[in-house]
Amino acid sequence: MGCAKDIVEHCGVPRFLFSDFPLGNSAGRPHDPDSQRLTLELALRLLETAPGPRTTMQSPLHWPADPRWKLDFSNIDQLSDEEIARRRQDFDKVKAVAKQRREEAAAG
Amino acid sequence: MNEQISGLGFADAHDCPVPYMDRLRSYYLALGYGNPYKWAHYADTPFTPLEKPLAEARIALVTTAAPYQPDQGDQGPGAPYNAGAKFYNVYSDRADGAPDLRISHLGYDRKYSTADDINSYFPLAQLKTLASEGRIKDVAPRFHGAPTNRSQAATIDKDCPDILDRIREDGADAAIIVAN
């Protein structure tokens, strides 16, 4: 179950239930139990019925409101030079933290 | 939109799956990072048909979400990307509880995703409901956490075999991987 269609299909998986939602909602829309139930049910149906590898099914559900969210995610065309510089600083910081955590984990 | 076209009921041109690979490549190049990420890519993909009816199958759950760690800063809804909350070894926890899992260590959509309902990224409660209704036989006794540590070698050589071993130990017939 996932929301990044191109990435999962590029990798290749046996079965893929694709929800066309912003990243972070692979199991359904938040606070929407009906949507979550349908999403899992569709994943189970794929388990039962997929005829072969790389079977993708797209959930019929939509993200509420308009599809503008699709244009906004990590879209460089929408960022000012200042914002790009700020994000670079932020990313360098989290990379340093991740490196430290990784080394701590490796050291046991 | 052209009136003639809009009359046909077409969706907006940009209302299609987000091209994340292209988007992220441009994004990190513009931020000044060369050497674009090489995504996992296989020409051939394994496939094993389910060997029994779902109503007789034990289903395991695999997640990229992380257990909440009180000493690792803000992991709440909308928290900035928190690398400190990442984990680097596979973990397993009992499926009969109500674990507190978060996604602040992942690159989810912080503008539009609320990340305040665990059931939108970790369908354990829903899977238990379907088990109670007989849709599946039962939920495997443990669920498993897959590290997202940006080392493809570690994922493939260490984490994946580890997760598979655990799924088999629990006698599961199939697993649902929920990526976020």
- Contact flag B106-A24 (C-beta cutoff 8 Å): yes
* A8 and A51 share one domain: yes
Highest-confidence segment of A99-108, B25-34, B170-179: B170-179
Residue of B nearest to A83 (CA): B31
* A40 and A79 share one domain: no
Looking at residues A49-53, what average pLDDT do you find?
A: 98
Q: What value of ipTM does the predicted structure carry? A: 0.93
* A55 and A87 share one domain: no
Decide if A103 touches B, using CB distance below 8 A.
Answer: no
* A8 and A58 share one domain: yes
* A79 and A61 share one domain: no
Beta partners for residue A36, in sequence order: none
Residue B35 tokens, joined: 């050497």
Give B1's pLDDT tier (boundaries 50, 70, 90): very low
- Contact flag B47-A10 (C-beta cutoff 8 Å): no
* A39 and A5 share one domain: yes
The 10s digit of each residue's pLDDT in B58-83 is 999 999 999 999 999 999 998 998 98
* A58 and A87 share one domain: no
pLDDT value of position B164:
98
Decide if A1 touches B, using CB distance below 8 A.
Answer: yes
Least confident of B75-84, B91-100, B151-160: B75-84
Decide if A98 touches B, using CB distance below 8 A.
Answer: yes
Beta partners for residue B142, in sequence order: B94
> For residue A3, is pLDDT > 80?
yes
* A58 and A9 share one domain: yes
DSSP code of residue A4: -
Domain locations along chain B: 54-178
Looking at residues B100-112, what average pLDDT do you find?
A: 93
Decide if A86 touches B, using CB distance below 8 A.
Answer: no
Decide if A50 touches B, using CB distance below 8 A.
Answer: yes
The 10s digit of each residue's pLDDT in A81-107 is 999 999 999 889 888 888 888 888 888
* A48 and A3 share one domain: yes
The 10s digit of each residue's pLDDT in A22-32 is 999 999 999 99
Looking at residues A4-16, what average pLDDT do you find?
A: 98
* A4 and A46 share one domain: yes
CA B21 to chain centre: 17
Q: Which chain B positions have a beta carbon within 8 Å of A32's beta carbon?
A: 120
Pick the closest to residue B63 from B91, B35, B28, B29 (CA basis).
B91
Those residues with Cβ within 8 angstroms of residue B4's Cβ, 6 or more apart along the chain or in another chain: none
Query: What does the buried/exposed string (b/e) look like for B96-119 if buried means 16 or more CB atoms within 10 Å of the residue's CB?
Result: eeebebbbbbbbbbbebbbbebbb
* A78 and A103 share one domain: yes
Residue of B nearest to A35 (CA): B120
pLDDT value of position B5:
58
Q: Which chain A positions have a beta carbon within 8 Å of B116's beta carbon?
A: 30
Return the residue in B112, B133, B164, B173 with the most chain A beta carbons within 10 A, the one to mutate for interface testing.
B112
Provide the residue range defining the domain that includes A2: 1-65
Cα–Cα distance for residue pair A66/B11, rounded to 1 Å: 11
pTM: 0.93
Cα–Cα distance for residue pair B44/B156, rounded to 1 Å: 15
pLDDT value of position A66:
86
- Please tell me the total count of domains within chain A: 2
Cα–Cα distance for residue pair B9/A102, rounded to 1 Å: 50
Do residues B32 and A88 make contact, with C-beta atoms less than 8 angstroms apart? yes
